Amino acid sequence: MSFHNFPFAVRLIGFSSAEEERFDAAFAVRQGKGYGYFRLAQNNLQDPDMYVANADELRALVSLADLRPSDVRPALMIGDPQIELPYPRVARPIDWTALIAALDGLVEKRADALSRLEASDIVTVPERRRRNRLDVDLTDPAEYEKMRAKVPDNGLVLVIDKNSALRDYLSDLLARQQVKVAWADDETKAVDICQQHPVAVVMINTSTPGVDPYRLCWAIKEKDSPVRIAVVFLVSKPFAYDLEQARYVGADGFLNKPLASQHMISVLKKFMPLQR
């Protein structure tokens, strides 16, 4: 077994805050001992390397099934599932040694799947197209409101920032994706652009002087608007992402800086239909 020196991102689904903290503690103990893992915070838009779902919560299982895990992005269930899903399971109470061993097994399986994909020139039908979606709808009414709002066709990306280095990096990356980009360095300009142009995604550098990202997000997210604008925070220390406040103003999530190009492209595909 060849160990990597980078940690794998784990998306937890359906666990309480106390349980999430226990995962954090188990992952911290694991550091420097083979494969490393870290938990993606809620609203972190980075793609995970694997999912871990609370099998005792039906909503978590429905969410997991809708995500369509695969060998490349595998899933692990904790507990006793109420519905049958084709993913490995660890029983409760959690034996953390057994859980880490199960995650290690998924990492090895993921590596094998990636190797096969890289070695093959055959285009296969994605696994998500071959699986039936669970016929259970637990969607929150607020989520239906978001889905009814329309994403602008050929919408542009608005970046709020005064840092020329970050702006140059994003400009080059988005240009290669054939995405139109606009810039603003204060809240007033940002709101004006959103009102006058078809903006699909707003990315706010939270370290921009004079800009309150929560206040700006609230101003951009016009209530009852037929147009949906996604707002993403670009976060670095010492800024602390406040999940409750972000949800209140309608923020769609955040990405940690320094930004990885694959995570940025994934966000574009999530919020801009023409990029999918």
pLDDT per residue as tens, the chain (276 positions): 444 557 899 999 999 999 999 999 999 998 767 899 999 999 999 999 999 999 999 999 999 999 999 999 999 999 999 888 999 999 999 999 999 999 999 999 998 888 887 776 544 444 444 444 555 555 555 554 554 556 676 789 999 999 888 888 888 888 888 888 999 999 999 999 999 999 999 999 999 999 999 999 999 997 666 778 999 999 998 899 999 999 999 999 999 998 889 899 999 888 987 655
Output the pLDDT for position 125. 41
| DSSP bridge partners of 50 | 10
Instruction: Report residue 268: phi and psi, to 5°.
Output: -60, -45
Do 187 and 216 have their domain in common? yes
The Cα–Cα gap between 107 and 232 comes to 29
Same domain, 268 and 147: yes
Of the candidates 201, 203, 192, 204, which has an alpha carbon nearest to the alpha carbon of residue 228? 201
Domain range holding 217?
143-275
Co-location of 179 and 204 in the same domain? yes
Residue 134's pLDDT is 54
Contact 87, 74 (CB under 8 A): yes
Asked if the structure places residue 2 within a domain, the reply is no
Cα dist from 218 to 223, 249, 250, whole Å: 9, 5, 7
Same domain, 213 and 248: yes
**What confidence score (pLDDT) does residue 235 get?**
95
Residue 135 lies in a domain: no
Question: Is 137 domain-assigned?
Answer: no
Asked if residue 150 and residue 81 are part of one domain, the reply reads no
Asked which of 85, 100, 129 is the last residue of a domain, the reply is: 129
Residue 1's pLDDT is 41
The per-residue DSSP string of the chain comes to -PPPSSEEEEEEES--HHHHHHHHHHHHHHTTSSSEEEEPPTTB-SPPSEEEEETT-HHHHHHHHHH---SSS-EEEES--SS--SS-EEPSSP-HHHHHHHHHHHHHHHHHHHHHHHH-------GGGTSPPPS-----HHHHHHHHSBPPTT-EEEEE---HHHHHHHHHHHHHTT--EEEESSHHHHHHHHHHS-EEEEEEETT-TT--HHHHHHHHS-TT-SB--EEEEEE-TT----HHHHHHHT--EEEESSPPHHHHHHHHHHH-GGG-
Find, among 152, 117, 143, the residue nearest to 59 by Cα. 143
Q: Are residues 109 and 202 in the same domain?
A: no
CATH assignment at residue 206: 3.40.50.2300
Tell me if 22 is assigned to some domain.
Answer: yes
162 and 114 inside one domain? no
Give the pLDDT confidence score for residue 275 in this predicted structure.
55
pLDDT at 83: 86
